[in-house]
Amino acid sequence: MKRRGKRALVAVMVLAALVGTRWLASGERQRPAPAARSGGAAAISRRTAVVPALSVSPAPARLDRGLSASPSPAPPPPPSLRGADVDGAVIVDEHGDLVVGPEILALFDHFLTATGEEPAAVIRARIVAAIRERAVGPAADQAIALLDRYLGYREAASAALVGPEADPAARLAALREARRAHFGEADAARLFGDEEREGEAAIEQSRILADATLSPDERDARIAEVEATLPDEIREAREETVRPLVQQAEEQALRDAGASDEELHAHRVATVGAEAAERLAELDRRRAAWQERLDAFAGARATLEATVADPEARREAEEALLASAFTPEERLRVRAILGAAP
C-alpha cells in the first residue's frame, strides 16, 4: 500500500472510531487513566482508550446527594460491576489534600455504569465508600464534594445536549460551559482539558476530511498536523484504539488485490508479529467454520421454504433444524443474522 494511501486510511479509521463512542454526549468518558502520582493512594487498575463521540445519552438518574456514607451492609454489586476491577484512583498530595484530575472521575464513572440497575442513592453510597477506602481526612471530604459537583454536572450536561442540535462544535461548547459552571476554570481544565483538546482535534479533522477543495496530500498533511498537537499519551491511546481497524482494512485491501494466504500471513508477521499472526490465522479459521455452518443452515432453510407449504409445519421444521445445528447461544446469533424463526 502506498504511503499516502496508508496515511489517509489511518485518518479515516481514527475518525470512524471517534464517532462510535459517547464522550461528547454526557460527560461519561473512556480515556487512558494516568498512573498514580507520588503521594497518591490506590493506582488505576485498568486503562481504556480516549475516544470522543458525538451522540447524546439519556440523562443520568438524579442521585441523592444528601447521603454521605454507604448503606450497612452494602447490597451485592449489580451485574455490570461483578468481577470488574475498579477503575480510577483517589490521589492525595503531601498536605493531605485531594489532587484533582481525571483519575478520580474514572473512579466515579466506574460505579456510575450501574445507573439504571440499582437505586441512585445506592450508587452514590458505593462511590462514597470507595473514596473512604482510598483516602481519609480532608482529601476524602474534598473527593465527596467533587462527586456531588460531578453528579450535578452530569445532569446539566445531559439536559443541555438533549434536542435537535447535532453540530459537534456546539455540543463541545455546551459541555465546556457546563463544566466551568460546576467546577470553575482551573478544575475543569484539570479534569477535562485533555478530552477537550481531543474533541477539538476530532472536529477539526472531520472538517478537513469534508473539505473538497483539498487534494489528498493536503488533506493528509492537515490531518497529521492536527494530530501532532495532541499530548503523546492521547496520540498513543488513539493509535492503540484504531490499530485493529487499520489492520483489518489493510488486510481487506490485500485480499481485494488478490493476495494469497501466504502473502497475508507474511503481512501480519511484519505488522503485528508471529504470535499475533498465528492468533489471527486461528480467528480466520473459526470465522470460516462458522460461516460454513451458517451457509449450510441457510441452504437447508431455503429448501424447507420451497418444499413445505404449511407455515406452522415449516416453522417447526426450521426450529428443529436450528436446534440440531447450533447451541442455544449460537441460535441467538443465527436469529439476529438470518431472521430465523423465534
Report d(CA 3, CA 289) in Å as an integer.
35
Mean pLDDT of the 195-224 span: 89
Give, in order, the Cα–Cα distances in Å from 108 to each of 27, 66, 86, 174, 206.
Answer: 12, 17, 10, 22, 31
Per-residue pLDDT at 42 exceeds 50: no
pLDDT digits (tens, 9 = 90+) for 91-121: 999 999 999 999 999 999 999 988 888 888 9
CB distance 133 to 164 below 8 Å: no
User: Domain coordinates of the chain in residue numbers?
Assistant: 17-206, 275-338
Query: What does the pLDDT read at residue 266?
Result: 92
Query: What does the pLDDT read at residue 101?
Result: 93
Report d(CA 96, CA 71) in Å as an integer.
26
Residues 11-42: b if buried by 16+ CB within 10 A, e if exposed = bbbbbebbeebbbbbbbbbbbbbbebeeebbb
At 185, list the grid cell: 476554570
pLDDT digits (tens, 9 = 90+) for 229-277: 888 888 887 777 778 888 888 888 998 999 998 999 999 999 889 998 8
Query: What does the pLDDT read at residue 249?
Result: 86
Query: What does the pLDDT read at residue 237?
Result: 79
